[in-house]
Chain A
Amino acid sequence: MRNISILLKVELLEAVRNIKFIWLTLFFTLLGVTQPLIDKYMEVIIKSFGGVEGIMIDPNAPEPQANEVLLATFSGQFNQIGLIVLIISFMGMIANEKNSGVQGFIFTRPVSSLEYISSKLFGNWLISMVCIAIGSFISYFYTVYLFGYYPIVDFFLFLVCYSVWILFVVSTAVLFSTLIKSSMFIGVATILLSIIFLLAGNINSTLSLFLPSGVLTLAESLLLQTHDINFLFMIAPIVYILINVYGAKAFINQV
């Protein structure tokens, strides 16, 4: 336990030194602020950027609700370009240490590979979630200001569910880092796999019970406050995360 906390501190310190906290937070804030503004001022934007005679927005269209805009922020921005940049930001976490020999140096100490893997996993998850949380709370305040009230406790619950999905993505990157040497390929493989899971999770809800992206279905129903909230969706991502961690543990000493 002590080893994990020390390695975790190293990971966080490295992120502070790399100014990763600053730019990742700035990036997610930028993504989070853009979506509500686009939704609110679509008419002004279309009018201002010219050459659109004949295009009109239905004046009877209902104003979008705050939770719909928040959902659009997460599914449209954070889960696409945000996820790609996030994965690129931590794709080298194990591969760089392996290539420069730091990993071998760590294993000369009494540190088990499970401790090393879980410190990497939770360290990068913590960094990502701090940045995403700051960005999404600024996005939340914007949305509330522009579209009306939405309870912050519900949004927090949504964020907790979303963090499970991020934990799965980080664990996938950890698993690939033990298999592949080049950090570029680790990034590409992780991005592809998570996008496949995202697409497959939207096919139907029975299938997404068995997929890690099912937790996003749960998060969505929490945010939209529909009545079919099914906490069984939590099981699949946790199983997948455990498979990834133990798979990484099995592979890390072989390659």
Chain B
Amino acid sequence: MNTDISVLYDVDWSAILPLVLPILILHLLLLVVALIDLYRRRDMINHPIIWLIVILLLNTVGPIIYLIIGRRMLKNDRHS
């Protein structure tokens, strides 16, 4: 994985922005959907803080994992 963030300064943003923008917006929408759902269920699910970290740090995969698995792992639930 490339962890050198300074590369981001060299990017020609004006050339790349119009093509990246819709993808960024969709990512953001997915993130917001997951966060709203997490906020509404914060008292019901197990370890909401850990799920918050997962959603924020894992791009695309994090919100989807939360929405599939995380929101079903309730407190006091025999089956999860």
Task: Verify B23–A37 contact, CB threshold 8 A.
Answer: yes
Task: Verify A48–B16 contact, CB threshold 8 A.
Answer: yes
Task: For A88, give its contact among B37, B60, B68 (CB under 8 Å).
Answer: B68
Task: For B29, give its contact among A18, A26, A33 (CB under 8 Å).
Answer: A26
Task: Verify A30–B7 contact, CB threshold 8 A.
Answer: no
Number of interface residues of A (CB under 8 A): 27
SS of A interface (majority): helix
Question: With an 8 A cutoff between CB atoms, is B44 at the interface?
Answer: no
Question: With an 8 A cutoff between CB atoms, is B73 at the interface?
Answer: no
Closest-by-CB residue of B relative to A36 is B19
Question: With an 8 A cutoff between CB atoms, is B47 at the interface?
Answer: no
Q: Which has the most chain B C-beta neighbours within 10 Å: A30, A40, A45?
A: A30
Task: Verify B30–A27 contact, CB threshold 8 A.
Answer: yes
Task: For B64, give its contact among A19, A47, A85, A96 (CB under 8 Å).
Answer: A85
Shortest distance from the beta carbon of B69 to any chain A beta carbon, whole Å? 8
Cβ of A49: which chain B residues have Cβ within 8 Å of it?
Answer: 7, 11
Listed in ascending order, the chain B residues whose CB lies under 8 Å from chain A are 7, 10-12, 15-16, 19, 22-23, 26-27, 29-30, 33-34, 37, 60, 63-64, 67-68, 71-72, 79
Given A49-B7, A88-B68, 16 further pairs, Cβ under 8 A: A18-B71, A20-B67, A23-B67, A27-B30, A27-B60, A30-B23, A30-B60, A33-B26, A37-B19, A37-B22, A44-B16, A45-B16, A48-B10, A48-B11, A49-B11, A89-B68
Listed in ascending order, the chain A residues whose CB lies under 8 Å from chain B are 18-20, 22-23, 26-27, 29-30, 33-34, 37, 40-41, 44-45, 47-50, 85, 88-89, 92, 96, 99-100
